[in-house]
Structure formats: C-alpha cells, structure tokens
C-alpha cells in the first residue's frame, strides 16, 4: 500500500477529526468546570487544522 502525500493528509485529517471529537466530548462530559472549556477549545482547534489538511490534500 503506497502512502503518497494525499493518503497521508487524508489519514491525518481523519485522526485530527477523531481527536477533536474526543477532546470536545471530554470537555463536555468529564470536566464540568473551566478545564472543560479548554478541552473543547483545543478540540475545535483540531477541527480547524483538519480542515486545513483537507484543503491542502489536492495541492501538495
């Protein structure tokens, strides 16, 4: 299975989305105080980075 740049970016996008969801859920359900806001913010940041990876997929 050849891993070209588009395949690597595709896998990175999926992993970033998965981790973003996990962090947002941790922030929402595990931590009820201010720490939850931090987890959710980092999760949203992961979504933004995954979006950038997805946008780069055809151009690199």
Residues 6+ apart with CB under 8 A from 16: 46, 47, 49, 50, 53
CA distances for 59 relative to 29, 32, 43, 50, angstroms: 38, 41, 25, 15
pLDDT < 50 positions in the chain:
none
Q: What is the pTM of this model?
A: 0.66
pLDDT for residue 38: 82
pLDDT for residue 36: 75
Query: Is residue 59 helix, strand or coil?
Result: coil
pLDDT for residue 1: 58
pLDDT for residue 60: 62
pLDDT for residue 39: 80
Q: How far apart are CA 49 and CA 10, in angstroms?
A: 12
pLDDT for residue 27: 80
Ranges of each domain in the chain: 5-56
Q: How far apart are CA 54 and CA 52, in angstroms?
A: 5
């Amino acid at each position: 299975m050849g891993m070209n740049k588009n395949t690597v970016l595709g896998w990175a996008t999926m992993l970033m989305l998965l981790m973003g969801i996990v962090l947002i859920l941790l922030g929402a359900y595990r931590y009820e105080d201010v720490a939850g806001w931090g987890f959710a913010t980092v999760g949203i940041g992961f979504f933004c980075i995954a979006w950038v990876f997805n946008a780069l997929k055809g151009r690199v």
